[in-house]
Amino acid sequence: MSSHNVIIYMPALNEGQTIHNVLESVPKTLDHASDIELLVVNDGSTDNTVSEATRAGATVISHNYNKGVGSAFQTALNYALEVNADVLVSIDADGQFDVQQIAEMITPILNNEADFSIGNRFSNGRPDRMPKIKFWGNKRISKIVSFVSRTKIQDASCGFRAYSKDCLLNLNLDGSFTYTHETILDLANKGYRVAQIPVNVEYFDGRVSRVANSLTKYAFKTSSIIFKSLKDYKPFQFFITIAIVILIISMLFSGFVLIHWIKNGSITPYKSIGIIGLALVGMSLLIAIYALMADMLGRIRKNQEKILYFQKKQYFDKDK
C-alpha cells in the first residue's frame, strides 16, 4: 500500500486551554501515512488559541470573525486540496474525542473500503453525561438524514470524521452554521461509500457546545439545512408531495361543497369554501408543473457538479 498525506484538522473558537494538549497528543505516525500535518482553523478566537496551536506545531488559518464550523470546514477543505492531501480528518479541539482512534477513522479509506468515515458515539447507547434531550435530538436528526440519504446513519452529527481526496473534490456545501449533515447528504447522494466507526467521547461538566448551545436554534437551523438538501437532491419528490397535499386539502373543501349541493341543490352559504377549493386545485396543478421543472433543473445541477468536479481535479492536480 502506498503512503499518503494526511491532514488532521481542528476548528477552534477560544480553545486556548485545551488545544495545545490535544494537538500534542495526536499520534506522530500512522500506518501508510508518509506525512501528517496538523491544521487549526481559528474561527475568530479572542483568547490565546492561535499562540497555543502554533506552539504545538500546527498550521493555523484564521478567520477575522466567527463564521461558524461550516465555514471553518470549508476553509480546511480548500487548504487540504491546495496541499494535495489524500485524507482530511476533522476532530474537535476540546479533547472530547480520543485522538488515538484517528487510525481507525482513516483505515477504511486507505484500504479502499469506504470513501469517508464518520464517528458513531452511540454504539453503546447514550454516552455518559450526555444530556438525554441532546441524545434524543441527535437520534431524531439521524433518522431524518437516513431517510433523505437512503443510508442508515447512526450518528449524523458527530464531528469526528475522515474524507478521501475524491470526496473533498466533490463536496459542494452552502451552510456556514454546521456541515455535518450536509456532507452526508451531499456525498451519499453522489454514491460515495460511508464507514461508521464507533468512537469514544467524553462530555465535560459545564462544557457548552459551539453548535448546539441552544437546542431550539440548533434544531431550527439543522432542519433548515436538511429541508434545503431534500429540495436540492430530491426536487421532484419534494414538490410533488407538496402538490399532492394541497390537492387533498382542495378535494376536502370541494367535496364538502359538492355534497351540500347534491343534498340541497345550492352551495349557499358555502360558496367561499368552494372558491377556496378550486383555487387550491389550481395551486396544486402549478406546483406539480414546478415539480417537473425542478426535476429538470436538478439534472442540470448534477451535470454542473460533475463539470465542477473535473475542473477542480484538473486545477488542484496541475502541479503534481
CATH of the domain at 47: 3.90.550.10
Do 163 and 74 touch, CB atoms closer than 8 A? no
**What percent of the chain has pLDDT above 70?**
92
Q: Above 80 in pLDDT, residue 23?
A: yes
- Give the tens place of pLDDT for each residue, 63-79: 999 988 888 999 999 99
DSSP letters along 102-133, please? HHHHHHHHHTTS-SEEEEETTTTSSPTT--HH
The Cα angle at residue 70 between residues 66 and 71, in degrees rounded to 5: 55
- Looking at residue 207, its pLDDT comes to 56
Chosen domain end from 197, 232, 267: 232
Q: Are residues 308 and 165 in the same domain?
A: no
> What are the helix (H) ranges across the chain?
19-25, 49-55, 69-82, 102-110, 132-149, 165-170, 180-189, 215-233, 235-264, 271-316
- The model's pLDDT over 242-291, given as tens digits with 9 standing for 90+, comes to 999 999 999 999 999 999 888 888 888 888 998 999 999 999 999 999 99
Predicted local distance difference test score (pLDDT) of residue 222: 67
- Report the run of H or E that residue 197 belongs to, with start and end: strand 194-198
The residue with cell 436554534 is: 217
Could you tell me the residue range of the domain that residue 254 belongs to? 235-316
In this structure, which amino acid lies at residue 44? Answer: G
For 80-89, 227-236, 260-269, which range has the lowest pLDDT when averaged over its residues? 227-236
Contact in structure between 69 and 210 (CB atoms under 8 Å): yes
Look at residue 218 in the predicted model and tell me its pLDDT. 62
165 CA to centre of own chain: 17
* pLDDT at 145 (0 to 100): 87
Partners of 194 in the beta sheet? 116
Q: Tens of pLDDT along 116-152?
A: 999 999 998 898 888 888 888 888 889 888 988 889 9
Domain count, the chain: 2
Closest CA to 283 of 295, 271, 291: 291
Q: What is the pLDDT of residue 182?
A: 85
Alpha-carbon distance of 277 to 248, in angstroms, equals 10
Instruction: Tell me the three cell numbers of residue 81.
Output: 486540496
Amino acid at 12: A
Dig out the grid coordinates for 59 from the structure.
Answer: 498550521
Instruction: Determine the pLDDT at residue 292.
Output: 93
Sheet holding 116-120, edge to edge: 59-63, 33-43, 4-12, 87-90, 161-164, 116-120, 194-198
Please give the pLDDT value at position 206.
Answer: 57
What is the average per-residue pLDDT within 215-243? 77
Residues 152-159: what's their mean pLDDT?
92
Q: Choose the final residue of a domain: 232, 267, 299.
A: 232
What mean pLDDT, rounded, does the chain reach? 88
User: In terms of domains, do 274 and 301 share one?
Assistant: yes
Of the three residues 181, 198, 232, the one that is the final residue of a domain is: 232
Residues 215 and 239 grouped into a single domain: no
Across 79-98, average pLDDT: 93
Residues 165 and 299 in one domain: no
16 and 107 both lie in a single domain: yes
Where residue 2 falls among pLDDT bands split at 50, 70, 90? low
Cα–Cα distance list, 115 to 72, 166, 241 (Å): 21, 8, 32
Query: Is residue 254 located within the same domain as residue 275?
Result: yes
Cis amide linkage into residue 269, ω under 30° from 0: yes
